[in-house]
Structure formats: structure tokens, C-alpha cells
Structure 1
């Protein structure tokens, strides 16, 4: 099975469609994490969902690509990679309205440093900043939710200032507390539950990021624009104590 590429001019959106096993294909829009590419992935995923293509079971956007899961069928009962990729190519060639990819604007309170952010000082040293400088860079601009992954409600956000291009920890933790806000490689993750992880923990939010009884269960969704709002430890305890 061969990849399918569009033939648009360099000024237009470009993509490649590649097989990923016998029940999934990948639409690749680039190689580097970038907000514009992320918005294109979100818009393409929305357009494919709205199309309700026969046999497609899920459409999942990521940083630079969109995965389309489908249920192949024999004797013409379901799509094949060839038929589905041609159909997707035709849909995308008709245009990807990236202006429709935006989500909500959401404020996430974060208590930085101390017991909630044990790696803040290490991050500050690596970035050649003060801890307050790290907090300012992390909270001064809104960050886009690129995708959810790793665990239910586990959001990946970015892209931060180059000064926050800090690698992951050399020794991952076996357990990261629920609500931890951690950074690596100009990105942020918010741990929805107690999980293992190797990102640098700079703070924590008292909000519940994932609740199966809530609709939607995940507080953040791809495309949302998040502003991290610094709060005090007392405010953290007050908000956590007020949760239902």
C-alpha cells in the first residue's frame, strides 16, 4: 500500500496519507510541533467526523497528524485502505477551514513550587531563570491543547517559550500526584490521576481534570486555549476543599 499525497502548492496545506496496520490510517500534516499545524489537525479531524464516513469508528487528532480508525469489511461491506484514503483525500482537497478549529478559553489555577512543584527550582536553573521567571513564562500566554493521550483526560499543551525547552527527567517517577502540572520540551501536561511520569513537575491544579460522571468527562478538549493562573497554597486548599 502506497502513501497518498496532495498536490497543492507549497503555500497551501499539504498532507500525506499512510497506512497504519489494517484498521487505521494516518494523515500527516508535518514533522514538527507547531500551533498552526496543530490547528490544521484539529480542523481536519472535525471535518472528517462531520462527514460520518461509512466504516470509520474513530478520528483522533495529535500534534502533527490525524489517525482515522476504521472497520474493514469483506465482499464490499466496509472500506479498504485504498477506498477510504481516496475519499479522505477528496474531502480534504475541498478545503480545511482552520478558523473552525478553535476551542474554549479556560483558566486553570496552578499553585507553583513547594510541595506542589518539586522540580520548579531545577527547571529554573536549567532555563537560567528564577523560579518566578519560570512561572511568568509559563502563565503569561495562553497555551493550546493539542491532544489528549497516555491516560483519559491527560492533556498535552504548548508551545511554550524556547527557554522552557527542558528535557524530561533522567529518572521518571513511579507515581505523580493527581493534578500535577509538568513541563518538558516546551510543552505542559496535567496529570488527571496518580500516574507514573518523567516530566518536570512545577506546580499543581486543584481542579479535577477527569471525572467519568461528568459530561464531558475530560475538563480540557483539543483546541482549547488555556491560561495558567498562579494561586497561593491557601487558595489551592480552598478550591480543593470546595470541590463536590
Structure 2
């Protein structure tokens, strides 16, 4: 087995820089830092840098940079610092996203609470205080995978799909949240809903969130949540994390 991090070709125009064989919080933080540093280098010929849960995908234009030269640049950047340390150097952004838990906005909150062995009220208190990080953006434009929740929230996915959850749905499985950018079916359990529009195509930055951002989902009343319906940001507030 190759030593990690490891650079491997993907097709004719890409490389995958793998930091772990499975989701690992330290490796994910490292790869987010590596991707940001590679982006900052603005290497001629690199046309896409995308992060996943355990790896970074780099797509390049073969007419602008040779494969061997790109591999040398990637390896030099990997060797240039201890990424497990460097990844935590830059302060992340912290989002507070008003969230309505339970009821029609989170019809499976009670099911999740029962699986964990707590009351719905206790589940809301704990989940609304849980500070999670954007591990990756994927599945739909701007949609984040968020983690990691404490171990007791290692709730399995459903054995069958829920036919529909709305845009802004907050769902839970395997110690992670997923916040849906679009109405969609899902195998994760729907516990709450926000009004945050994750993909805003007419904005200078169409994706609201980016890998490494941290989020809190504080509980709000149904009245306060309804007042945010026309706000594309859903009342979300951004600050520098400490």
C-alpha cells in the first residue's frame, strides 16, 4: 500500500492526492489546507482543484503543463510542510444558521432521538450546540457534508429512501449532518430545516460555504424561522471562528 499522502493519476487530465483511505478528521483538515495552498500558488495549467472527504482532485490542461512537471509541483508542496499542523493555522469562518427542529420541519427528529436514547428536547439542545465543519462540498452545487458529531450520533442511514426532503433540510447519519441545496430524496434522517440558500448562481461567489468552514445550527421558534423565509441567507450570520 502506498504511503499517504499519495499522488495518483486519474484519467488523462487529472491527479488525485489522497490523504487517507477513509474519512479521518485530521486528514480532512490537512487536505483542506493543502488545497487552499495549491489554489494560492495559481499554477499555470491547473484548471480545477476539488476537495473530497479524504482526497484532493487536481485537473490540468495538458497543453499548458506537462504531467511530470505537475507531479513535481504537487510533491514539492506536499513535502514543504507538515500538513496536519499547517491545516489549522488559518482561522476558519464560523456560520450561525437559524434552524427549526422537529415537527413538519424535522419529521424524523423523534426517531433519531430514540435511536440515540435521549428525549427530543435533549437532542435539540445537543445538536444546536454542536459545532461542525464542512468536510466536503458535493452531491449538488454548494451542498456540504458536515462533521463530525459526537460518537453517540453514529446513526445508520435508513434502509429505504425518504421520497422527498425540501431545500434547506438538515439531515443526519453516521456522525454527520448534510444540508440540502435542493429538494431531493435521501437515505439520511430529516431532523430540521433552514432557509439558507446554499447555491446562489447570480452571486459573486455562488457557493455560500467552502471546505473548512464551521457551522452552528441554533434552534429558533417557528415564528422567528418563518420571518426568515424571504432572506436568501436564511438569517445566517458569518464571523471569524475562535
Indicate yes or no: 2:219 matched with 1:230. yes
- Pick one of 178, 201, 206 that aligns with 2:195: 206
Residues in 1 aligned to 2:145 and 2:213: alpha-carbon distance in whole angstroms: 11
242 and 226 in structure 1: CA distance in 2 versus 1, 3 angstrom threshold: closer
Q: Who is 1:53 aligned against?
A: 43
Q: Secondary structure of 2:160's match? A: coil
Root-mean-square deviation (Å): 2.0
Q: What is the CA distance between 1:243 and its match in structure 2?
A: 5.4
Match 2:144 to one of 152, 155, 175: 155
Deviation of 1:146 after TM superposition, in Å, equals 1.2
Query: Structure 2 length normalisation: TM-score?
Result: 0.87
For normalisation by structure 1, the TM-score amounts to 0.87
SS at structure 2 position matched to 1:40: helix
5+ residue gaps, structure 1? 6-13
Question: Secondary structure of the residue that 1:135 maps to in structure 2?
Answer: helix
Out of 26, 31, 51, the residue aligned to residue 41 of structure 1 is: 31
Q: Which runs of 5+ in 2 are unaligned?
A: 234-242
Higher relative contact order (CA 8 A, sep 6+): 2
Contact 2:95 2:213 in 1 (8 A): yes
> Do the aligned partners of residues 113 and 28 (structure 1) sit closer, same or farther apart at CA in structure 2, a change above 3 Å counting?
same
Task: Tell me if structure 1 keeps the 8 A contact 2:195–2:231.
Answer: no
Aligned residue pairs, count: 230
Deviation at 1:91, TM superposition (A): 1.6
Q: Superposition pairs for residues 180-191 of structure 1, below 5 Å? A: 180-191=169-180
